[in-house]
Amino acid sequence: MKQFITSVKEQILSKKYILLILGGIIGLLSYFIIYMVEDMDLTAIQSIIDAWPEGMLEFFGDVEIFTNPYGFWSLELLTFMWLYAGIYILFMASGLLSREVEEKTIDLSLSKPITRINFLASKISFLYIFIAATVGIFFLITMGAMAFSPTFQSEGLIFDRLWLTYIMVVLFLAAFAMFAKFFSTIFLNTRKSMAFGVIVLFLMFFLGEFYIYMDESIQGIRFISIFYYYNPSEYLVHSDLTLFVRDLYILSYINIGLIVASLLVFDRKDIPI
């Protein structure tokens, strides 16, 4: 256990500046969007939305989400978290294990008093801590900006919903990190793991967001997409607890399933020397 904790701590310290920079940059972007909302008449957007075709409105969500400051902020920021942070996290997860194999340092790491399971579990734990801390920094900056925003004050400060949404953002990003980690235990190659991780990311984005344009007979394919179970605007604007609980359970099961699969594969994997 001591070696496990030491390994996690070393990885966190090696990425501490990236963690702070990434969380800070997204937080500043969030601050900018909140500041931008102050100078916008969100109710005027409704007349523009009314002119949209029905299919476009189904893609983006209902009118209330656009005209609500929390909904607008969520659409501009949380909807694209896979782009702002997800791709980098996927890249990092792809190389944590496979890079040690490629650089021939895996034998040295495993020669320490640590099992394969604990070795990989320390890297997975680091990923969750990194994601939780990065998103946490961004959310703290966001809450501070909202607390001083007249627009969000008049709408009401719903920090309880924001913290629940924070959990979903962490699970959403972690799911893609776990896909990359799973591929890295199979291929033990950073490029292949990254490539398959990116393919899964964009494939799920397409299936989860564009299914409404598919034939009704195949629209059920959306249920295999992680994006379908990530609805931050609904949590914030409509306080849809039923939807939140459903998404929480499914994303949690996806994360747990990928963790278990990664540990099992790596424990039985022949590592090239």
* 155-203 tens-digit pLDDT: 899 999 999 999 999 999 999 999 999 999 999 999 999 999 999 999 9
Name the CA dihedral angle for 135, 138, 142, 144, rounded to a multiple of 10 degrees: 110
Q: What is the DSSP letter of 189?
A: -
Domain ranges across the chain = 2-267
* Residue 112, pLDDT above cutoff 90: no
* Residue 250, pLDDT above cutoff 90: yes
Helix ranges, 210-240 (H): 232-237
Question: What is the rounded CA–CA span in Å between residue 4 and residue 121?
Answer: 8
Identify residue 69 by its one-letter amino acid code. Answer: P
Taking all residues of the chain, what is their mean pLDDT, rounded to a whole number? 88
- Residue 45 pLDDT class (50, 70, 90 cuts): low
The reported pLDDT for the residue numbered 102 is: 82
* Residue 273, pLDDT above cutoff 80: no
Question: What is the rounded CA–CA span in Å between residue 193 and residue 265?
Answer: 14
Within a 13 Å sphere around the CA of 178, how many CA atoms are in the beta-carbon half? 23
* 69-108 tens-digit pLDDT: 998 899 889 999 999 999 999 999 999 888 888 887 877 7
- Residue 13 pLDDT class (50, 70, 90 cuts): very high
Greatest extent of the chain over all pairs of C-alpha atoms, in Å: 66
